[in-house]
Amino acid sequence: MRIGHGYDVHKLVEGRKLIIGGVEIEHSLGLLGHSDADVLLHAVMDSLLGAAGLGDIGKHFPDSDDRYRGISSVELLKNVANILDENAYIIENIDATIIAQKPKLAPYIGAMKDIICNTLNISSTQLNIKATTEEGLGFTGNESGIAAHSVCLLNSVRDALYVSSGMSECTLCNDCPNKK
């Protein structure tokens, strides 16, 4: 089993849509970023990539690459799901927290869960999303920005096969970290 943590923060500005968890949320401000600046999906992707030991979203989708300018983070999450599949990782669960003074996010969490679960092909019992304020403290409390944390647990098919078979040497593939 592998655990990963992801954190993201974006500044609130005028003239941008507020998109969190793939859901457009009615608000007078939006998040500033190269993509759609979806803090929740960015944190989730970083936790997944980190648990797999595969870097972070900056490595896979750099903000210096115009292909990702304005891109939906749901599309990036699909790419991360493919990367995990290619590397034989299975998502056990994801637990995420969005930190925002305003707007209230509880009415949107169900739709966020639906989008993330459908994109990652996981059940709703494998994903938990919470929202909280910081009681007016810090940059989220004074409504300068929104942040998100995500923790995930992954299993590696390769690691599971290696351990369960009692092999002294992995023979599954050339790039397996357990191959001697």
Residue 135 is assigned to a ligand binding site: yes
Residue 107 is assigned to a ligand binding site: no
Residue 149 is assigned to a ligand binding site: no
Residue 10 is assigned to a ligand binding site: yes
The length of the chain in residues reads 180
Residue 8 is assigned to a ligand binding site: yes
Residue 171 is assigned to a ligand binding site: no
Residue 5 is assigned to a ligand binding site: no
Residue 60 is assigned to a ligand binding site: no
CA distances from 58 to 3, 17, 35, 49, 148 (A): 19, 22, 11, 11, 16
Q: Is 49 left (phi over 0), alpha (psi -120 to 50) or beta?
A: alpha
Residue 9 is assigned to a ligand binding site: yes
Residue 36 is assigned to a ligand binding site: no
Residue 95 is assigned to a ligand binding site: no
Residue 61 is assigned to a ligand binding site: yes
Residue 168 is assigned to a ligand binding site: no
CA distance 11 to 147: 9
CA distance 113 to 128: 8
Residue 166 is assigned to a ligand binding site: no
What is the per-residue burial (b if ≥16 Cβ within 10 Å, else e) of 119-148?
bbebeeebbebebeeeeeeebbeeeebbbb
Strands 18-20 and 89-99: unpaired
Residue 73 is assigned to a ligand binding site: no
Residue 38 is assigned to a ligand binding site: no
Residue 65 is assigned to a ligand binding site: yes
Annotated binding site for a divalent metal cation: 8, 10, 42
Annotated binding site: 8-10, 34-35, 42, 56-58, 61-65, 132-135, 139
